[in-house]
Amino acid sequence: MNQRKIPAVMLAVAVVALLAVLVVMLTSRCSSDAPEASVPDQMHASAPLASSEDTEEPVTVYEEEPMHVSSVQVTGTETAVIETSRGPIALEFYPADAPNTVACFIELAAAGFYDGLKFHRVVPGFVVQGGDPLTRDLTVEQIRSGIGGAGTGGPGWTQEAEFNSRKHETGTLAMARARDVDSAGSQFYICLAPQPSLDGQYTVFGKVTEGMDVVMSIEVGDVIESVTIRP
């Protein structure tokens, strides 16, 4: 009787042991597959990224193009005359407040960049705006309707903002820009009335000294015939 029980007991023990082994194996596999809650995701944590030596392919790092810095040497005595289809507008600059902005404007003017462009934005009591190369071959109707991207063009580069303490008064000359503060290029505007809400938000680099009556008469599509820099 006892001899018959022994094989049965041994069989039961073997089955239990086998089940225990299977449970341990399954538990171990599930633990290895699941992420540890205490380990941060390195894609979102502050852990350093792998270098190019740690990966099979080199890591490409994209850098923004540097802001344009003009090579024009400004003496501080320069003035400008914008000849328009409505008449001349005389300007003086503020090189002490916006040296690179003044230099960039002189650089573009000396290269004939502005010649033949059109004023594409006129808001009574606010500003007149020009300097977009896309307006050169557009008709007034196209500019008014937004065909051709008027208001979005530039010289092919941008420049760093030079915000300063100069106020936006009637006749103030300043650089237009997009939302990015360092997105100014060639587009400028002239204030038709004081605009204190713009102070410190745009780069003021000059003012109108003669021809404010011309500025007041400008309409969308009027032409910038030339910009002459006087030493």
How does pLDDT run across 49-79, given as a tens digit for each residue? 223 333 333 333 334 457 999 999 999 999 9
In a domain, 51, yes or no: no
Is 13 a residue whose pLDDT tops 60? no
Q: Is residue 6 located within the same domain as residue 101?
A: no
How does pLDDT run across 161-205, given as a tens digit for each residue? 999 999 999 999 999 999 999 999 999 999 999 999 999 999 999
In a domain, 65, yes or no: no
Of residues 72 and 32, more confidence is placed in 72
In a domain, 222, yes or no: yes
In a domain, 202, yes or no: yes
Q: Is residue 96 located within the same domain as residue 171?
A: yes
In a domain, 128, yes or no: yes
Q: Is residue 127 located within the same domain as residue 25?
A: no
How does pLDDT run across 72-119, given as a tens digit for each residue? 999 999 999 999 999 999 999 999 999 999 999 999 999 999 999 999
Average pLDDT over residues 206-221: 98
Q: Is residue 195 located within the same domain as residue 122?
A: yes
- Order across the sheet with 172-175: list the strands: 117-118, 223-230, 79-84, 87-93, 204-210, 172-175, 188-191, 127-130, 121-123
CATH number of the domain where residue 143 is located: 2.40.100.10
**Count of structural domains within the chain:** 2
Which pLDDT does position 58 carry in this prediction?
A: 36
The residue range of the domain holding 157 is 79-230
Average pLDDT over residues 10-38: 48
Among 123, 91, 92, which residue's Cα sits nearest to residue 193?
Answer: 123
